[in-house]
Structure 1
């Protein structure tokens, strides 16, 4: 049976934590300050509150302040700023090409951001499709987001392997019947994670069965 791979983007296919996330956070805070006319402390509070409550800061801004989603995402994810921070001299193209099966990207990032990132990383040609937040609405780990991506890609959850750095997102994946790979340096893995790997270089060595989750 052919495998279907769903890959997260940030901190899975590339390391976003060191420089990319702090810059995006800074841009979000500045945007909230400017468009809601609040000071920096209040902007920080709202950004974190909406992220916890809705899974994404944007959710609260749209719901409570009628912020234009596309304008927010493009203002806070300026690729001219972000792409120079990403090292594209990696072995990802060779590594992913060795994985048998079809591949998709499933990210909470904006569509333009996801598309630009995978092209910058030289792996765009290896994926059938990429899904940014605009394409599934509700952010991961909500079940609705997973169901929408599965429906749009035309694949069954039972045939998918989800590769993620977020244990919470993998919990939803397992509930739907996917096999799960957690990219993490933590020693202990939750019961809903099939494999924990320290880096993607370990993926080709994982022994997946052709049937249900291992």
Structure 2
């Protein structure tokens, strides 16, 4: 029996389409801490502990703040993503060319906001390269690696998971993708678990991997 035809490549955004060395996400971390302390009123000494707890229980800080402090998720998203994206990122012509070589449908699937994703794509000069952006709102602010946002993305694309490739810098997020039946590509170094089908140094190498799979 032949392998299902690959119809879509689903890309994570932060630290996947650009190198973590750009330190963009560290700016968002600062904004999250400030929001928790200055807007929500959580004592500064409790912020780090709460963030670790919320990440462990809910996948993102936002879910914990919604559940325990009743924060407005839209206010939170606007506040924490108010960072100088253009100051950290530059156009990436190599990645733009690589994305153009991928014949499959291409989308972004991020735990951030759509507005943040648009600013990142603009700074990287990747406008027009992706059919759609799926953000944290896709499953009522439920993040990766929980299953529901993946299922919502697949429903929206009207595709079976076996027809999709997931590209991520987070092994944990790839675990869910693999459990659903997707092929998985890990961007970056570090541990490469058994559920990762390929590991690459940068997103610009995705076309090579996908073309090799298509040739099999």
Q: Compute the TM-score of the two structures, normalised by the length of structure 1.
A: 0.90
Once the two structures are TM-superposed, the CA of residue 102 in structure 1 deviates from its matched residue by 0.7
Q: Distance in 2 between matches of 1:50 and 1:26?
A: 16
Q: Distance in 2 between matches of 1:156 and 1:119?
A: 30
Partner of 2:205: 202
Q: SS of the counterpart of 2:102?
A: coil
Q: How does 1:47-86 map to 2 (within 5 A)?
A: 47-79=51-83, 81-86=84-89
Partner of 1:190: 193
Q: Distance in 2 between matches of 1:69 and 1:54?
A: 14
Structure 1: gaps of 5 or more residues: none
Could you list the per-position Cα deviations for residues 9-57 of structure 1 after superposition, in whole angstroms to 9, with x for gaps in the alignment?
A: 1111012454212211111111111123233211222222212211000
Aligned length: 209
Q: SS of the counterpart of 2:128?
A: helix
Partner of 2:35: 31
Once the two structures are TM-superposed, the CA of residue 203 in structure 1 deviates from its matched residue by 2.1
1:138 to 127, 135, 142: 142
Q: Distance in 2 between matches of 1:103 and 1:31?
A: 33
**8 Å Cα contact 2:6/2:165 also seen in 1:** no
Q: Distance in 2 between matches of 1:200 and 1:49?
A: 31
Q: Distance in 2 between matches of 1:34 and 1:201?
A: 39
Does 2:12 correspond to 1:8?
yes
- Which moved further from structure 2: 10-19 or 23-32? 10-19
1:20 to 20, 24, 33: 24
Q: How does 1:24-173 map to 2 (within 5 A)?
A: 24-79=28-83, 81-136=84-139, 137-173=141-177
Q: Distance in 2 between matches of 1:164 and 1:145?
A: 15
Q: Which has the higher contact order (CA 8 A, sep 6+)?
A: 2
Q: Distance in 1 between matches of 2:16 and 2:93?
A: 13
